[in-house]
Copies of this chain bind each other. A is one copy, B any other.
Amino acid sequence: LLGHRDRVLSVAFSPDGLKLATGSSDTTIIVWQVDNAKRLFQINARPYSVGSVVWSPDGQQLVSTSGDKTIKFWDGSNGNQIQTDSKPCTDGHTGWIDSLAISSDGTFIATASEDKTVRLWSTETHQQIEHALKHTDEVYCVAISPNGTLLASGGRHREVYLWSI
């Protein structure tokens, strides 16, 4: 499939298997129709590289990590950015986001960052949920338990954190 102009950093099938989202250093996400390998739409996240891309379990939203240290929410059917009305009361990540996980029910996202925190984000309000979870060093990986009640994270320091949500 030709369309990106730089490295492809993530590939993700939609939950129904009909679409493929690809994120690239070229600052775009392309959503492809799988059966005919054609481009459905392209999301412009300029000027920031797109890292990880995940679909919400209902396929309604795409969530991506961005080179500006934020996560962005997009309409999974047309690629429009989902705008948030108000600025968050917290400041968000101040370092690169290395890992992104979505809960199995799709209600929230967890991000792990080199700013030594894990943060949770609502897929309904698209805002950060409560406070950052603090590590003693950079966080590389995060996972959400299948029932959505626990979070695990690890990173540069040898400790593994298990958080009750």
Contact = CB atoms under 8 A, between A and B. Distances in A.
Interface stretch (A67-75, A76-84, A122-130, A151-159): A151-159
A12 interface: yes
Interface string A125-153: 00000000000000011111111001011
A58 to B, nearest CB: 13
Most B CB contacts (10 A, CB to CB) among A16, A26, A30, A162 go to A162
Contacts of A144: 13
A70 to B, nearest CB: 21
Interface stretch (A3-11, A40-48, A85-93): A3-11
A37 B7 CA distance: 40
A159 B24 CA distance: 10
A160 B13 contact: no
Contact of A146 (B16, B22, B37, B154): B16
A136 to B, nearest CB: 12
Nearest to A101: B11
Copies in the complex: 2
Given A22-B152, A158-B6, A158-B24, A147 B11 contact: no
Nearest to A153: B11
Interface string A30-72: 1010100100000000000000000000000000000000000
18 contacts: A1-B159, A2-B158, A2-B159, A4-B154, A7-B156, A8-B154, A8-B155, A11-B142, A11-B152, A11-B154, A12-B143, A13-B144, A13-B152, A17-B146, A20-B152, A24-B158, A32-B160, A34-B162
